[in-house]
Amino acid sequence: MKLVWLRRDLRVDDNTALCEALSHGEPVACVYLATPETWENHGLAPMQADLIFRRLEQLYEELAELNIQLLYDEVAQYSDCAERITEVATSLGANTVFVNRQYEVDECQRDDLLASQLSANGIGFRLCDDKCIFAPGSVVNKQGSYFKVFTPFKKAYLTKLESHSFEVKKAPKAVKADLPETIQHLCFHPSVTFSYSREESSVWVADSQSIIAQLRDFTATRSDLYDRQRDFPSMQGTSKLSPYLAIGALSVRQCMARLMYGQTLPLSSGREVWQSELIWREFYQHLIYFEAKLSKGRSFLDWGDGLKWDNNSQWIEAWKTGQTGYPIVDAAMRQLNQTGWMHNRLRMIVASFLIKDLHIDWRIGERYFMKRLIDGDYAANNGGWQWCASTGCDGQPYFRIFNPVTQSERFDPSGAFIRQWVPELVGVPDKYIHKPWAWSDVRNLSYPDPIVDHKVEREVTLVLYKEAKDV
């Protein structure tokens, strides 16, 4: 018997650990452990928790078709996982436990503890690299070190990709076997519930067929236009596949294979830009592996930890609730709060506004995003926030500061997105939709004045960053 411990790899096909377990021709069982205390500490969004649970319901049925039983249990935190997985493996009579590697510090320590405990009990342990097409350490510079700038990383990555025939593996059926009675109480069933809080996520599909259909639809109908449409939040220009990548219901290999299927090189500019987005995700996974400090709230650039922050609580609350008086910022935050998702261009705008207009520590924004995002992925979220804060690996230069008004005018020119999420501004003329405070009838609006003056705060930011860098 082989046991596969599922974490953020909630799929059947192209699951490296599962496929390796099945390759031995023995019965296979899968187990999922909920860890509510660790989830709370890590800020798992209740909406993502709901998507995970709904995905488990689908996965239970998909695994059953392969003669694989899905087991489910709950422990408080990561430190409890090693003992529980060892107990499950022992009860099953499993000779090996298979897992797909995660690269954050807490996850690595959890797996080191499991390896030790399994070894002490005479049970084998197989760690598989699955989250990236190329595992951390396999894309390096001429000196053998990891890349600290994205563009040369991408160039090396694409060179490696040209000679790499990656396979999207189809999981075969397992040898059928009955589970011991001592373990049958752990069999997953639809009435199982998380003790962790959940928020409705039903607008996001959870079955593999629908997820793959969404991938195919995007690559067939919209990927070639991605470079021209992705920055406009009122358009359906993005894939919206990130929630499935975040929980592992979809793999990066499946995305890359579908993107490149039937294509000749070079790819269209739209496909090339979406491919770059997939490679950015890989870049951040590699960084998390090589730089443990990124999992501990540290800046990638050491001077970043010396930045002085205002952390005005009223401003933080205005930002969170979409009441800053800047329409594009408020529309984006309301979209996040109501749907658990935010358009990528808007993520950069609201992050820049929090950090460089309000002088709020980027970690506060990073944490809030994780608590709200249905597609929350620690490495990608941390990388994005540090990019905006100019403290990250290959981050935006600190003197490049988004103007929320000009960003709004450029990427939501008609105000369609703003009016969708800020109904107070529905009647504002197009000329003033991006800066309603300039409209003559502004006093008739139930909408706040800007909480700060961008021009003034921009100069403050330049001073604060220069001071931190000059220390």
**Angle at CA 61, nearest 5°, toward 59 and 67?**
105
Check if the beta carbon of residue 6 is closer than 8 Å to that of residue 32: yes
Cross-strand pairs, 128: 100
- Asked whether the beta carbons of 124 and 95 are under 8 A apart, the reply is yes
SS3 state at 32: strand
Catalytic residue, chosen from 5, 39, 204, 280, is 280
Q: Is residue 319 flagged as an active site residue? A: no
Does 114 appear as a known binding residue? Answer: no
Residue for token digits 């690269």?
Answer: 103
Cα 187 off chain centre by: 29
* Rounded CA separation 458/405 (Å): 13
Separation CA 368–CA 366 (nearest Å): 6
Does residue 166 have a known ligand-binding role?
no
Q: Is 365 annotated as a binding residue?
A: no
Sheet-wide strand order for 124-128: 69-74, 28-34, 2-6, 96-100, 124-128
Active site residue 421: no
3 is in an annotated binding site: no
79 annotated as ligand-binding: no
Asked whether residue 238 is marked as a ligand-binding residue, the answer is: yes
> Could you give phi then psi for residue 34, rounded to 5 degrees?
-80, 140
Q: Is 279 annotated as a binding residue?
A: yes
Catalytic residue selected from 67, 95, 337, 344: 344
Is residue 385 flagged as an active site residue? yes
The answer to the question of whether 104 is labelled as a binding residue is no
Distance, C-alpha 205 to centroid of its chain: 17
Residue in 57, 74, 277, 424 annotated catalytic: 277
Q: Which of 198, 233, 156, 223 is nearest to 49 (CA)?
A: 198
Beta strand residue intervals within 143-233, DSSP E: none
373 is in an annotated binding site: no
Residue 439 labeled ligand binder: no
Determine whether 277 is an active site residue. yes
The verdict on whether residue 376 carries a ligand-binding annotation is yes
Angle of helix 362-372 relative to helix 378-389, nearest 10 degrees? Answer: 150
DSSP per residue, 28-89:
EEEEEEE-HHHHHHHT--HHHHHHHHHHHHHHHHHHHTTT-EEEEEE-SSGGGHHHHHHHHH
303 is in an annotated binding site: no
**Active site (annotated) includes residue 5:** no
Answer yes or no: is 277 a known binding residue. Answer: yes
What is the DSSP-derived secondary structure letter of residue 261?
T
For residues 252 and 278, the answer to whether their CB atoms sit within 8 Å is: yes
| Residue 259 to residue 266: CA distance in whole angstroms | 12
Point out the catalytic residue in the list 39, 385, 387, 421. Answer: 385
Query: Is 5 part of any known ligand binding site?
Result: no
Residue 239 annotated as lining a ligand binding site: yes
Cα first-last separation, the chain: 59
CB of 326 closer than 8 Å to CB of 418: no
User: Is 290 marked as binding a ligand?
Assistant: no
Give me 64's structure tokens: 């059953």
Please state the length of the chain: 471
284 has binding-site annotation:
yes
240 marked as binding residue: yes
Spot the catalytic one: 309, 337, 403, 409.
309
Q: How many CB atoms lie within 10 A of CB 221?
A: 10
Active-site annotation, residues: 277, 280, 309, 344, 362, 385
Annotated binding site for FAD: 226, 238-242, 274, 277-284, 375-377
Annotated binding site: 226, 238-242, 274, 277-284, 375-377
